[in-house]
């Protein structure tokens, strides 16, 4: 076993501070990665503060991990020492259930192991995430990075990227598809970039005119002010797929009218109880669907990374030092970032 520096919290009401954690000895199928960059996700904050319940302390967040391979087990074939590699939201699953056998580890029927606050099958207790100097992961859950991608900008692809890529692929978005995105944040800006990369005609729904210029810079074809009834009427029956990235309770009814026949509104933000958020008539009347989507499996995540390499797609980021994480959390709550914080983990050295 190995002791490494990390940043985490001992209680939901406390700031994140430097602490020491234990990483397991590299086994024959394990890969040890020196972490260079780690993206900051809203899930990190929610888990650190136990907003969803179930957090066990200490919590060391971080599941958008990019780094360099520094050690591999004797049976590892996917990567070699010196390669750049990545780790996303999962570090294990049962591998045997129907979901896992279909490369859908994110829907493991026995529960996947989260990169942090998951049940650690090796050391007991809970898993620790990427706010740390290094991580040891089974090679099945290690991803390879296209050489042309900026490493820091690639980190958020491991969560924000795959969370939006998976529904775009599942609902067969392609050249000529009409896609709308609800919300322009870490997830929303990635949904726009990936949908455009797939050749779709892309709109952004927003409640704020201030987002229009930013949306156009990201490549959206149409900006729709969702509080303007005339604009909403003008896009009735337009969209094949709507990716709703808003992570809090909101009315879905206005968007249902904008779906085409057979269109689907996909929720990727956790909004809790959906009572009174939609009217069934608006679904039945156009054979429309409201669906949900989690992250993606390992094969699909690798597909997304390769696609991003081909199209040179990365996240728009602000790089911070590890010691700035508590300030970053407060700014993130105010949506004061375009569009994702990424920690330079070299700041952990010394």
Per-residue model confidence as pLDDT tens digits over 180-215: 999 999 999 999 999 999 999 999 999 989 999 999
Q: Are residues 76 and 46 in the same domain?
A: yes
Q: Are residues 29 and 40 in the same domain?
A: yes
pLDDT at residue 277 in the model: 67
pLDDT confidence band for 349 (50 / 70 / 90): confident
Number of domains observed in the structure of the chain? 2
Q: Are residues 197 and 150 in the same domain?
A: no
pLDDT at residue 248 in the model: 84
Q: Are residues 147 and 167 in the same domain?
A: no
CA distances in angstroms from 130 to 94, 134, 245, listed in the order given: 22, 7, 24
Q: Are residues 16 and 133 in the same domain?
A: yes
> What's the rounded mean pLDDT across residues 278-287?
78
Both tokens of 98, joined, read 């129907």
273: pLDDT strictly greater than 80: no
Distance CA(139)–CA(123), nearest Å, equals 18
pLDDT confidence band for 105 (50 / 70 / 90): very high
Distance CA(179)–CA(221), nearest Å, equals 10
Neighbouring residues of 331: CB distance < 8 A, sequence distance ≥ 6: 337, 341
Write down the mean pLDDT value for the chain: 95
Peptide bond connecting 183 to the previous residue in cis, omega within 30 degrees of 0:
no
Domain region containing 17: 2-158+316-348
pLDDT confidence band for 274 (50 / 70 / 90): low
Distance CA(204)–CA(185), nearest Å, equals 11
Q: Are residues 26 and 138 in the same domain?
A: yes
Both tokens of 139, joined, read 């090679």
| pLDDT tens for each residue of 2-11 | 999 999 999 9
Task: From 266, 301, 270, select the one nearest 91 (Cα to Cα).
Answer: 301
47 inside domain = yes
Q: Are residues 123 and 196 in the same domain?
A: no
342 inside domain = yes
Question: Given phi > 0 = left and psi -120 to 50 = alpha, else beta, which region is 74?
Answer: alpha
Q: Are residues 173 and 133 in the same domain?
A: no
pLDDT at residue 284 in the model: 81
| pLDDT tens for each residue of 292-329 | 999 999 999 999 999 999 999 999 999 999 999 999 99
Q: Which residues pair with 71 in a beta bridge?
A: 32
> H-helix or E-strand containing 182?
strand 178-182
pLDDT confidence band for 270 (50 / 70 / 90): confident
276: pLDDT strictly greater than 70: no
pLDDT confidence band for 350 (50 / 70 / 90): low
pLDDT at residue 200 in the model: 98
> What's the rounded mean pLDDT across residues 146-164?
97
CATH code of 181's domain:
3.40.50.720
321 inside domain = yes
Q: Are residues 132 and 168 in the same domain?
A: no
pLDDT at residue 124 in the model: 93
Q: Are residues 107 and 179 in the same domain?
A: no
Q: Are residues 70 and 197 in the same domain?
A: no
143: pLDDT strictly greater than 80: yes
Q: Are residues 77 and 117 in the same domain?
A: yes
309 inside domain = no
305 inside domain = no
pLDDT at residue 115 in the model: 98
300 inside domain = no
272: pLDDT strictly greater than 80: no
pLDDT at residue 275 in the model: 67
pLDDT confidence band for 283 (50 / 70 / 90): confident
pLDDT at residue 182 in the model: 97
Distance CA(299)–CA(102), nearest Å, equals 10
pLDDT at residue 39 in the model: 98
Q: Would the pTM count as exceeding 0.85? A: yes
């Amino acid at each position: 076993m190995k002791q490494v520096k990390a940043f985490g919290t001992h209680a939901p009401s406390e700031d994140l501070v430097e602490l020491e954690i234990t990483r397991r000895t590299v086994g024959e199928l394990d890969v040890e990665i020196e972490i260079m960059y780690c993206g900051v996700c809203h899930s990190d904050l929610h888990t650190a503060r136990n907003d969803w319940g179930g957090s066990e302390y200490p919590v060391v967040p971080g599941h958008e991990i990019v780094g360099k391979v520094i050690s591999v087990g004797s049976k590892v074939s996917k990567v070699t020492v010196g390669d750049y590699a990545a780790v996303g939201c999962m570090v294990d699953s049962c591998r045997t259930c129907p979901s896992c056998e279909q490369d859908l580890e994110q829907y493991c029927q026995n529960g996947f192991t989260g990169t942090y606050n998951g049940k650690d099958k090796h050391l007991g207790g809970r898993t620790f995430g990427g706010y740390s100097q290094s991580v040891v992961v089974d090679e099945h859950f290690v991803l390879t990075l296209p050489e042309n991608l900026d490493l820091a900008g690639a980190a958020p692809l491991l969560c924000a990227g795959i969370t939006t890529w998976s529904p775009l692929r599942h609902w067969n978005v392609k050249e000529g598809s009409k896609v709308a995105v609800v919300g322009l944040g870490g997830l929303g800006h990635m949904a726009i970039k990936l949908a455009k990369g797939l050749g779709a005609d892309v709109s952004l729904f927003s409640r704020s005119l201030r987002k229009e210029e930013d949306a156009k810079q990201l490549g959206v074809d149409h900006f729709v002010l969702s509080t303007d009834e005339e604009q909403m009427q003008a896009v009735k029956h337009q969209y094949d797929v709507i990716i709703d990235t808003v992570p809090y309770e909101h009315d879905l009814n206005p968007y249902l009218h904008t779906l085409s026949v057979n269109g689907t509104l996909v929720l990727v933000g956790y909004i809790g109880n959906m009572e009174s958020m939609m009217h069934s008539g608006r679904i039945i009347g156009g054979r429309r669907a409201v669906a949900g989507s989690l992250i993606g499996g390992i094969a699909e995540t690798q597909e997304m990374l390769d696609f991003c390499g081909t199209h040179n797609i990365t996240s728009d980021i602000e790089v911070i030092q590890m010691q700035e994480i508590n300030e970053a959390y407060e700014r993130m709550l105010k949506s004061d970032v375009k569009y994702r914080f990424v920690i330079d983990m070299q700041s952990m050295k010394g």
